[in-house]
Chain A
Amino acid sequence: EAGVVQSPRYKIIEKKQPVAFWCNPISGHNTLYWYRQNLGQGPELLIRYENEEAVDDSQLPKDRFSAERLKGVDSTLKIQPAELGDSAVYLCASSLEGQGNYGYTFGSGTRLTVV
């Protein structure tokens, strides 16, 4: 079974440009997360979806970040316009909530560099 798939792996853009990240979770996982990981730090939640509904987006900078989860499966995270401080690794994770705490399965992440 394929794990959580993210693309692209790396992205370098100039500030003020838009960028989008894509995530395909584990088949059957109803919950999807986007995390941002700064260098030397743990992941910080940006948004959590249960099926197609965003149930926690309190940490998402909504002036420039947006996300969607189509049909409760794939998800896209967008930044427009990007700022220098957005440089980080963006991690997608999925889990099967409601069946006990089995932990998350993470993708390999997208490393974003804004120059």
Chain B
Amino acid sequence: GNSVTQMEGPVTLSEEAFLTINCTYTATGYPSLFWYVQYPGEGLQLLLKATKADDKGSNKGFEATYRKETTSFHLEKGSVQVSDSAVYFCALKPNAGKSTFGDGTTLTVKP
């Protein structure tokens, strides 16, 4: 079956530091890949997505590139802010069927 493996947290960074959260996946075919963010007490929000190999998704300074050869979709941001503190979930979705989510990575950014 499909699966998503995320870098274990928690991750603690100082403001303006560079962020990488690793995500690798196992799936048949060519799924779409997503990053969601969850702030305390809220549901998940779609952060960015990529639907085919070599696509780069980007939003709010975050980026992730769909790497088919390494089955990865790592999340990066060049300079994090305190407001980026949240839980980040990597997910995949095949063309037909349900999404599969990773277990989430908690990011804390300190001033």
Contacts and interface: CB of A to CB of B under 8 A. Distances in A.
Interface stretch (B68-76, B78-86, B93-101): B93-101
Contacts of B104: 40-42
Interface of A: 4, 6, 33, 40-45, 48, 56, 91, 93, 100-109
Contacts, number: 54
Contacts of B46: 103-105
A103 B32 CA distance: 9
A49 to B, nearest CB: 12
A91 B41 CA distance: 12
A107 B103 contact: no
Interface string B12-37: 00000000000000000000101010
Contact of B51 (A33, A44, A56, A100): A100
Given A40-B104, A41-B104, A100-B51, A109 B34 contact: no
B41 A108 contact: yes
Contact of A101 (B89, B95, B101): B95
Given A42-B89, A43-B44, A109-B43, A103 B49 contact: yes
Given A4-B43, A106-B45, 18 more contacts: A6-B43, A40-B104, A42-B4, A42-B89, A42-B104, A43-B44, A56-B97, A56-B98, A91-B43, A93-B43, A101-B32, A102-B49, A103-B34, A104-B44, A106-B36, A107-B43, A108-B41, A109-B43
A43 B34 contact: no
A41 B51 contact: no
A107 B41 CA distance: 11
